[in-house]
Amino acid sequence: MRFRASASALCVLALALPACSAADVESDDELATQADALGPWMAHKEVVASPHPTQGAPAWADDGAAVLGVELRYERQLQVPPLQGLWSKRNFRYQLFTQPVNGTKLGERQPFGGERAGTAAVVHYMKSQGYALVTGEEGTAIVRPNGTKLVRPRAADDHLRRVTVLPSPDGRTLAITSCAFFQEVPQADGALSIEPVRPVPCAVQFKDAATLADVSSARVELPEAEPEGPVDAPSLVTFAPSGELIVTDRKATAFAIAPGGQARAVRVPTCNGAETTSSKVGPDGALVGVRRGKLALVGAAGSELRFGCR
């Protein structure tokens, strides 16, 4: 399989939602010169709701006492013909907020940290450790009420790999897993061909969540891994309740890696449970989502979606 490298091709091959979303947004200068624009740029905001059953936003706190939401703020302008739906959008910013959980109801909304530039596609709220882990177009950052630390910036070659950053079940450790699914191969005419890599090498780095100091690293290879799978397939990377990180090709190979330890072969997971203690699925299986523009408890997840299901 060969592809000529181009802006559109790289977006198609992008393995992370924020990267592809960013590639789809035209620059402010391009949008400003659109002759077919209708109306002025207008401020807009919305509460982010991921379509994935367990990943994305909003998210439960790891202790089940609160939920974390993302309010996305941007400017939009009506376009004909449609460019991004019916609207062109620019100047993205987001604000995290929390709400306590009182039985089946959510309490008053409170901001968590300050407003930040960019988007927030995946969030984890490690309330027991006082931080939220946010992955968006600029990379992954730890957000605390008094400041933000960048864990991993987005790299120029991220379109060739899938990068997952997860907090451990107790929130004390971060696991950064980078699996290289493609490589760029120079051609005789100077173009770049994007070709698959087999087996897929995955590098795992553990960091202390409080200091971001390196704890340990490991490397495994997945013979049959694909960058994306069905929504009901096991996650490529997930934590086990024991604190070990499970990395799998979803078919025949899986490894468990503990911070400070070596990779060991384990059985392949069979369900697509939440990746860690903070996800869209609460400790008792309650799902948090968005209803009429506000966070709400929207149902219950089956056992196969709960953290710890393997």
CA distance 178 to 201: 8
pLDDT over 50 at 11, yes or no: no
The Cα 153–Cα 81 span in angstroms is: 35
Q: What strands, in cross-sheet order, belong to the sheet with 122-126? A: 122-126, 131-136, 139-144, 147-153
Burial of 19 (0-12, 13-18, 19+ CB in 10 A): buried
Which letter does DSSP use for residue 158 in this model? Answer: G
For residue 20, name the pLDDT band (cuts at 50, 70, 90).
very low
pLDDT band at 82 (very low <50, low <70, confident <90, very high): low
Confidence category of residue 24, pLDDT binned at 50, 70, 90: very low
pLDDT for 232 equals 78
pLDDT of 122 reads: 96
- Spell 76-99 as b/e; 16+ CB within 10 A means b: bbebeeebeeeebbbebbbbbbbb
* pLDDT of 33 over the 90 cut: no
pLDDT for res 83: 55
pLDDT of the residue at 21: 39
Q: Are 304 and 289 in contact (CB under 8 A)?
A: no
Vertex 10 angle, CA 6 and 14, to 5°: 175
- Closest CA relative to residue 37, chosen from 74, 7, 75, 11: 75
Q: What is the mean pLDDT of residues 86-104?
A: 94
Q: What does the pLDDT average to over 216-244?
A: 92
Alpha-carbon distance 118 to 21, whole Å? 11
Return the pLDDT at 65. Answer: 97
* Model confidence at 85: pLDDT above 70: no
Q: How confident is the model over 280-287, as a mean pLDDT?
A: 95
Length of the chain: 310
Confidence band of 233 (pLDDT split at 50, 70, 90): confident
**Bridge partners (DSSP) listed for residue 129:** none
The string of pLDDT tens digits covering residues 136-187 is: 988 999 999 999 999 999 999 999 999 999 999 999 999 999 999 999 999 9
- Name which residue leads in pLDDT, 39 or 2: 39
The SS3 of residue 18 is helix
Burial of 5 (0-12, 13-18, 19+ CB in 10 A): middle
Tell me the CA distances in angstroms from 225 to 34, 175, 220, 253, one per residue in order. 42, 19, 12, 9
Domain range list for the chain: 7-305
Taking CA atoms, 149 is separated from 23, 132, 138, in Å, by 24, 11, 12
Token pair 């864990």: residue:
151
Tell whether the model's pLDDT for residue 1 goes beyond 50: no
Predicted confidence at residue 309, as pLDDT, reads 87
Helix (H, G, I), strand (E, B) or coil at 242: coil
Residue 93 has pLDDT above 90, yes or no: yes
**What is the DSSP code string of 121-151?**
-EEEEEGGGTEEEEEETTEEEEEETTEEEEE
Instruction: Say if residue 81's pLDDT is above 80.
Output: no
Q: Evaluate if residue 38 carries a pLDDT over 60.
A: yes
Specify the range with the lowest mean pLDDT, choosing from 133-137, 159-163, 230-234, 243-247: 230-234
Give the pLDDT score at 39: 77
Is residue 70 scored above 70 in pLDDT?
yes
**Mean pLDDT value across residues 285-309:** 94
Instruction: Taking residues 210-220, report their average pLDDT.
Output: 98
Taking 50 as the threshold, does the pLDDT of residue 31 lie above it? Answer: no
